[in-house]
Chains A and B, each alone.
Chain A
Amino acid sequence: MRHTKRAVTAALLSTVALALVGCSAETGASDNNSASCEPADGDVTLTFTSWIPGIEDAVAIWNEQNPEIQVEVQTGPSGNAGTYQNFFNQLEAGNAPDLGQIEYDALPNFRVQDGLEDLAACADVVAAEDQFVDWTWGQVTLGTDDEVYGVPQDQGPMGLFYRSDLFEQNGIEVPATWEEYKAAAEKIRALGGYITNFSQTDINQFAGFVWQADGQWFQNDGDAWTVDLTGEESTKVADYWQELIANDLVSTYPAWTDEWNNAYNSGEVWSWNSAVWGANSIASGAPDTSGNWSVALAPQWNEGDATAGNWGGSSVAVFKGTEHLYEAAKFALWLNTSEEGLTSLNQTAQIYPATTAGLELPVLKEGVEFYGGQAIYDVFAEAATQVNPDFVWGPTMTQTYADVADGFKAAASGDGTLLDALTKGQESTISTLEAQSIPVAE
């Protein structure tokens, strides 16, 4: 009996010892935080998680050309639908992929949770800055001077999709300013239509409007975050749309529903302030109106301005814990800057590149049938140069979006205003940051 007891004790002790060894090994690994950007000796296999359908085609081209750096594609639901949460779980468990697709507005969240490698260690990445559209680079440096947390993949500069046939038939000029847009809205309402639909749930679209108006929702001085959902510009934009909603000049169908598609398909709603990728959404949501749409630059706040907002876009980031920072960065750069990579991404998934050269791809110079043969991507290429490079996302955008959306939904049904919603979103965002021990500047 005593014998067994001793054996058990010994076994327990050795388990503890093993566990300790395990722990120290792990701390050793995580101490060595900023991996150096050196090529590995032998062959390397990288894992890359993305939810873009067909991205394997581009990766296959890479794999063929780079037998010593093979990339395996992993997939899942779109970021906010589960993949981001999975990334966090995997970082926690220490088995995150080497690379992952992360939208711009989610990057700060991963940065704050210390989930990303700083690519500034890789000279190639730093040297590639010039290849990208200015503001997209601002999205991956997160407002810092010397840190890079991803390689920009695509962007969503915003323009105005409008029913050129209806505007023309009714003698309404295509609005160049938001003031003209309001005037046009009144004329269209008198004809029984709506100029556009205000989405209660697409808070990142609203953020795009604020972005265009030169507003800033977040600032980070390297340590503390400033939250300013109700700044001057943000208030101006909120008041503008509040007036349109209150006067029934815009419809408020829930976006992305059949009802909403139908409002466009039936010609009830005449325009959409959306990003470049919206070209596809309209074409598929309103097939009966093919040939009748056009794209113009977004209406401006002041006549003669040249500003644009952005809605969407994502980057390819490298996760903490990768053993192959050099190879991962090399692949991310190839995927998002090489003509082959970008062409393949555009063909399979209509990805709109974030590089200046990418905007000149032959396929993006062609006329689009749905838009009456207009070369719509020329408009967006111009808009892309007008986006403010200093806009910064907060570290808890999912929460901010959700809370503001709650307020917007209420405002759309006449309960409160958009500004009230932003005020509440401001408060809840600050308390969420504080709850996560993220410093907030007063």
Chain B
Amino acid sequence: MSAAIDTDAPRGAKGGLESSDEDHSRIAPVGRGPKERFIPRAGAMLVMGVFTLYFLIPIWWLVVASTKDRADFLGTNPLWFADFAFVDNVAALFAYRDGVYLKWMLNSLLYAGLGALVATLLAAMCGYALAKYRFPGREAIFNVVLGGVLVPATALALPLFLLFSRVQLTDTFWAVFLPSVVSPFGVYLTRVFAEASVPDELLEASRLDGAGEVRTFFTVSIRLMFPALVTVFLFQFVAIWNNFFLPLIMLRSEELFPVTFGLYAWNSSINQFPELRSFVLVGALLSIIPLIVTFLLLQRYWRTGLGTGALK
């Protein structure tokens, strides 16, 4: 511990001298090495290494397992490849029951992609209104929305089911889609961000130039809020993708399932129908690809947005 303090102190001082950019100063000494003590650095690396392994080994196992045929899956080392049957496995998965798996993937993309898009737009409008307009009950509304952040989606699934039953919308696309377009956390984040990044002066100027409120929102404000919106989108995308309980309760028609629920349904029958095992494995592997792609594409914005929320 004392070693850590020792190394920290000169580094901070040095950074201050060299550069006013805080980020830069933190990175620079590390690159130069000599000032850094070996043990704390190695310790940190060790901890990170252990955690990286801890998180990556299951994925590695999944990758390896999905390349094996049924006999090799049981008979060979689970962490290393045997005969490479990945292509066959994928082909079998896609062919099973007329490609129901692909349908599920498409459903997931639709629920998560479209749902997150609409949720982001709604959250942006709501957060923006709460940040930029003064009206009675504003704080009350905001607090209620904030309270919504505390209620887990799982707890709402059953009441939602009973509500949707009343209007006969269970087992439809809307049963999963409509609850997904609400994001209290998104409202919170966009409000904070709108307050910080959309200057009142700019809105005044826009009004003076004759732009209506809606136009101002879509042409000026939404661009300023963009990093926050990407964050909200990503959060919501992941939340919908992983929201397993709602489809479990709402859906009965296989052609409406999202991929998570479909795989769960297969997995629950593995004891009785062992041939489903390889489908579950390969399906699980393929199903994480869209999440990874989305993250990589939006990572840059994601970081900015996350930082903004944290600072407030």
Contacts and interface: CB of A to CB of B under 8 A. Distances in A.
Contacts of B168: 95
A51 B265 CA distance: 8
Nearest to A78: B268
A78 B269 contact: yes
Given A76-B252, A288-B74, A288-B75, 7 more contacts: A52-B269, A76-B265, A77-B269, A89-B162, A95-B168, A261-B74, A284-B277
Given A76-B265, A89-B161, A256 B248 contact: no
B252 A287 contact: no
Contacts of A82: 248, 264, 268
B75 A94 contact: no
Contact of A86 (B248, B267, B269, B277): B248
A316 to B, nearest CB: 16
Contacts of B26: none
Nearest to B72: A287
21 contacts: A49-B252, A74-B252, A74-B253, A75-B253, A75-B254, A76-B251, A76-B252, A77-B267, A78-B272, A81-B264, A81-B268, A89-B162, A93-B161, A95-B168, A256-B271, A265-B74, A281-B274, A283-B274, A287-B70, A288-B74, A350-B273
Contacts of A53: 97, 266, 269, 273, 276
A92 B162 contact: yes
Interface residues of A, number: 37
A94 B265 CA distance: 24
A89 B158 contact: yes
Interface in A272-300: 277, 280-281, 283-288
A86 B267 CA distance: 17
A309 interface: no
A51 B268 contact: yes
B214 to A, nearest CB: 30
Contact of B265 (A75, A97, A284): A75
Contacts of A262: 74
Nearest to A53: B273
Given A81-B264, A86-B248, A92-B162, A288 B274 contact: no
B97 A285 contact: no
Contacts of A281: 271-272, 274
Contacts of B274: 280-281, 283-285
Nearest to B71: A287
Interface of A: 47, 49, 51-54, 74-78, 81-82, 86, 89-90, 92-95, 97, 256, 258, 261-262, 265, 277, 280-281, 283-288, 349-350
A284 B252 contact: no
Interface string B136-165: 000000000000000000000010011001
A82 B171 CA distance: 15
Contacts of A288: 71, 74-75
Contacts of B165: 90, 93-95
Interface of B: 70-71, 74-75, 78, 97, 158, 161-162, 165-166, 168, 170-171, 248-249, 251-254, 264-277
Nearest to B255: A75
A55 to B, nearest CB: 11
A97 B162 contact: no
A287 B75 contact: yes
B265 A77 contact: yes
A82 B277 CA distance: 19
A93 B74 contact: no
Contacts of A77: 248, 264-265, 267-269
A230 to B, nearest CB: 28
Contacts of B171: 74
Contact of B74 (A74, A81, A285, A349): A285
A49 B253 CA distance: 9
A35 to B, nearest CB: 21
A313 to B, nearest CB: 11
Contacts of B264: 77, 81-82
Given A51-B265, A51-B268, A258-B78, A284 B249 contact: no
Nearest to A284: B274
Nearest to B96: A53
Q: Which 6 A-B pairs have the closest CB atoms?
A: A284-B274, A81-B268, A93-B165, A74-B252, A77-B268, A78-B268
Given A76-B252, A86-B249, A284 B70 contact: yes
A430 B268 CA distance: 29
Given A287-B74, A288-B71, A277 B268 contact: no
A287 B264 CA distance: 25
Contacts of A74: 171, 252-254
A75 B248 CA distance: 11
Given A53-B97, A280-B274, A258 B268 contact: no
Contacts of B166: 93
Contacts of A283: 274
